[in-house]
Structure 1
Amino acid sequence: MDYGMAMSPNLSNPGESYPDSTSINVYDPMEGYEAKKNVITADYIDYVRKLDPNLYISIQESTGVSMNWITQKGSNYELVQTGQDGVGELLNNDDFNNRQYDVIAGKMPTNQNEIVVVVDEYNRIPKQSQRILGIEGESFDATSIVGKEYKLIEHNDFYQESAMGIFPPANTSQYETLFNSDTATTLTVSGVLRKSEASSVSMYSPRLYYTESLSKDFATRARQSNVVAKQLEVKDLYSVVSGRPIANANPFMDSNKFTTKFLHP
């Protein structure tokens, strides 16, 4: 079972489409969302995996893993959880991305530690993305966010075993130390993208995006982490993140997703 969100465009005075400008505006898209339920079976997944590669652009398979990023905003350090904060994954198809999207600031990502920001045809991003970027005000220049850094924190650093034998997430007082840790991976905003005016497909909604290779490599390391090893040991008895019964816990977005998708992808 998969629950998705469909978005109809928020057209309340959006402004000029495809402006010749690097000025980015902020908007609230939530009123345009509608929940959709998709029934995805094992037979369907097997069918999709066997499709002729010439019939599709790219296939994405989600493991349900949420990465923990920390970013600096002034003297403060803030957490970004990709599974909860609306951060997406780019298609693993550079040719498609280059043909269908224009770079209005910076460049396309060239390695897995580079991330991008996608704006809509009106040069807008949602308020949630504005918060993640640490931007104040209703508009800003796209060039100002190129080079912004986030630190990807490994599970063994973010979830450390307590004296009670559980693995609580790091608290805000630890964010600065984690941000400056030698084991943290630096992620950099390489560019700002917008769907080409001539493009026939609008694949990405406006928000931040990371590469598929970053996600896959992190998932591999996460499966080998102490917190996952402990969860596999106790199975569904309780959440090793919260200590609560697994049915009521919320360790990684949703405990059931954690069990069925993260531990058994």
Structure 2
Amino acid sequence: MLQLINVCKSYTTADFTQTALDHVSVAFRDNEFVAVLGPSGSGKTTMLNIIGGLDHYDDGNLLIDGVSTSEYKDRDWDAYRNNRIGFVFQAYNLIPHQTILENVELALTLSGVSRAERRQRAVEALGRVGLAEHVSKKPSQLSGGQMQRVAIARALINDPEILLADEPTGALDSKTSVQIMDLLTEIADDRLVIMVTHNPELAQRYATRIVTLADGVIRDDTRPFDPAAENSPRRTAKQARRTSMSFLTALSLSFKNLLTKKGRTLMTAFAGSIGIIGIAAILSLANGVNSYIANVEEETLSEYPLQIQDQGFDMTSMMGLGSGAEGSSAEKAQDDAPDDDSGKPVHESKMIASTFDSIGSNDLASLKGYFDSGESGVESYVSSIEYGYNVTPQIFSSDTSGTVHQVNPDKSFASIGLGSSTASNGIMSSMMSTNIFYKLPDNMGMVEGQYDVMAGHWPENYDEIVLVLTPGGSVSDFMLYSMGLRDHAELESMVRAFANEEAVNAPSDSLSFSYDDLMSVTFKLVNAADFYQRDNEYGVWKDKSSDDAYMRNLVDNGETLKIAGVVKPKEGAKIASLQTGLYYPSSLVNHLIDQAGNTQIVQDQKANPATNVITGKSFADEESNQKNGNGFDMSSLFTIDGQKLQSA
């Protein structure tokens, strides 16, 4: 049973409001053929749409089998339309690219019925409306009456309790209209049929009840129904069918729909592809540029990392020295004096003071503790944090047949004031260094991608080093002297001639070597603590580094360092982190630290922290003598090579 109670519906456009239904109350029996008559604009179609759930009322109520729909949600209306309502439209609303069988099947497709069952039921429904022989035709191959029959068959396929027909004969001739009306009359034998029409003759002839509307109000009802007065049996509602569709079915319908308009589909796909490709190209370009910039930044910082030393020096402080650009406060004060320069004092310019004021000391131990605590958050901004220790591997040439030659730290140019050994300060030492040995970074991932391994491999053990060539694949002659591939006496001769302001005879030949030749070179590693020997008579440790026989024995028995690989920067590499030279792993430094910790001289010094075990004096006395000027030793101004003197 269907009942409308004081239903109101209006449509507002701008400041104009049109009332379609004005407090309409009407009830329908479960089994009757109702014709709704009225002029255009009287509210017939609006009432039909509200009954079918296609539109919602503003006020009042719609009862379905005594149940109010005022609290219905969208899913409730969907279930109502799918299970209890069948629609027959004046315009047919058939899908043109599908056959009439597929059009009728569509309602069952949305209900999740299997393919075989929905085809069988669709054929039966078309047979019922007299179209069993036309199941394979498209709507465009049918007449108007036949298309309306297809619409009726589609409305009946779900066996609805209520059939709503909006002007089903409006576009048909009189003969076809009679056929459609006969079919609706037959259908009305076992269900409620509500038909909107403008033709009063058809209504009078076929309908069992006529409801007349005018200006949104029911003006006449030939057979009104009062549910409270008539105790007609209530129909039991069918179990609701869920609305569903399989993914493959949806995909098939979508594909068929695309094929119906191939030109439009291709043009849309082409235009969409251009847009997608354009956006993808822009995003790719942006990501590529960002990646390139990030890569350049990372590679640049890998070659020029941010370094924090125990003493920092502001190089910019030297730029203004002697320029007079800033001047002292006294000089500025004099600028305001009269132009008469007679008797004007000459003021001091703080050049040295400004230079040393820019040197600051850093507490590296506290900084390391702060980084290791994890509280700094610096890890997200850096690729690697590495710590350097004041440990310089003492490396010698393996060939001790002549003189003992130390290659790290390099002392080749010590006689002319160059080399790491000429300066005790870390800053000055790094600026004046002539070393060719360097430590590899701990994070080798940043480095290995920048180089091609020409022979061998990167160091894997503490006693392995790697030779880094120039981008052109060459090696400097200075490295050849250090490696023993050129006669080191030749270098010493040139340095001596330069120091004596004599003509320097530099070799003009150019040598070539294979990778095997380079990798055949070995070096000797000596622990710095072994340079000292205990003097039991005086209870001190004596430096034996000037004793040639002692040093030759020390080098001969030292650990062997071998070149494990030869690498050079990749072709076209923008930045190379490592300069040309020989690189040892950080594990070598750790090895030397562990080794030194077990030596006797270190154990003695740790046991007597206040006394210098080399001089036998307390550190306090030595510091006091230096402050009082008593610590100056004339021997520090020059050195004497006893063996050279004896041979002369």
Q: TM-score interval w.r.t. the shorter chain? A: 0.5 to 0.7
CA distance in 2, matches of 1:211, 1:132: 19
| 1:60–1:180 CA distance, 2 compared to 1 (3 A) | same
Match of 1:81 in 2: 408
CA distance in 1, matches of 2:576, 2:556: 37
Q: Select the structure with the greater relative contact order (CA < 8 A; seq sep ≥ 6).
A: 1
Match of 2:15 in 1: none
Match of 1:175 in 2: 551
For the 8 Å contact 1:69–1:151, the answer to whether it is kept is: yes
**Larger CA Rg, structure 1 vs 2:** 2
CA distance in 1, matches of 2:599, 2:511: 41
Alignment of 1:15-30 (within 5 A): none
For the 8 Å contact 1:168–1:241, the answer to whether it is kept is: no
SS at match of 2:449: helix
Match of 1:72 in 2: 398
CA distance in 1, matches of 2:587, 2:472: 30
Match of 2:482 in 1: 132
Residue deviations 1:78-102 (CA, integer Å, cap 9, x gap):
2233484342111123333321212
State the TM-score, normalized to the length of structure 1.
Answer: 0.65
| 1:140–1:176 CA distance, 2 compared to 1 (3 A) | farther
Match of 2:388 in 1: 62
Match of 2:89 in 1: none
Alignment of 1:197-216 (within 5 A): 197-216=571-590
Match status 1:93 vs 2:443: yes
Match of 1:141 in 2: 513
CA distance in 1, matches of 2:361, 2:530: 36
Alignment of 1:226-237 (within 5 A): 226-235=600-609, 237=611
CA distance in 2, matches of 1:75, 1:54: 53
| 1:48–1:197 CA distance, 2 compared to 1 (3 A) | farther
SS at match of 1:176: helix
Residue deviations 1:25-57 (CA, integer Å, cap 9, x gap):
xxxxxxxxxxx9785444544454445556434
More helix by share: 2
Residue deviations 1:200-227 (CA, integer Å, cap 9, x gap):
5422222211111111121122133222
SS at match of 1:145: helix
Match status 1:154 vs 2:480: no
More strand by share: 1
Overall identity of the aligned pairs, in %: 19
- In the alignment of these two chains, the number of paired residues is 217
Query: Which 5+ residue runs of structure 1 have no aligned equivalent?
Result: 7-35, 250-265
Match status 1:166 vs 2:541: yes
| 1:169–1:74 CA distance, 2 compared to 1 (3 A) | closer
Match of 1:225 in 2: 599
For the 8 Å contact 1:102–1:195, the answer to whether it is kept is: yes
Match of 1:259 in 2: none
Among residues 107, 114, 137, which one is paired with 2:457 in the alignment? 107
Cα RMSD (Å): 3.7
For the 8 Å contact 2:544–2:551, the answer to whether it is kept is: no
CA distance in 2, matches of 1:59, 1:241: 38
SS at match of 1:167: strand
Aligned residue type for 1:179 = V
TM superposition shift of 1:179:
3.2
CA distance in 2, matches of 1:91, 1:192: 17
SS at match of 1:92: coil
State the TM-score, normalized to the length of structure 2.
Answer: 0.29
CA distance in 2, matches of 1:81, 1:241: 26
| 1:157–1:101 CA distance, 2 compared to 1 (3 A) | same
| 1:234–1:199 CA distance, 2 compared to 1 (3 A) | farther
CA distance in 2, matches of 1:2, 1:174: 36
CA distance in 1, matches of 2:454, 2:400: 26
SS at match of 1:202: coil
TM superposition shift of 1:168:
0.7
For the 8 Å contact 1:162–1:168, the answer to whether it is kept is: no
TM superposition shift of 1:103:
1.9
CA distance in 2, matches of 1:91, 1:127: 26
SS at match of 2:405: strand
Aligned residue type for 1:135 = L
Q: Which moved more, 1:240-249 or 1:118-127?
A: 240-249
| 1:156–1:99 CA distance, 2 compared to 1 (3 A) | same
Match of 1:260 in 2: none
For the 8 Å contact 1:231–1:240, the answer to whether it is kept is: no
| 1:140–1:99 CA distance, 2 compared to 1 (3 A) | same
Match of 2:28 in 1: none
For the 8 Å contact 2:596–2:602, the answer to whether it is kept is: yes
Match of 1:196 in 2: 570
Query: Which 5+ residue runs of structure 2 have no aligned equivalent?
Result: 1-309, 316-357, 411-419, 421-434, 487-508, 633-648
For the 8 Å contact 1:153–1:185, the answer to whether it is kept is: yes
For the 8 Å contact 1:113–1:214, the answer to whether it is kept is: yes
| 1:186–1:58 CA distance, 2 compared to 1 (3 A) | farther
For the 8 Å contact 1:91–1:212, the answer to whether it is kept is: yes
CA distance in 1, matches of 2:385, 2:379: 9
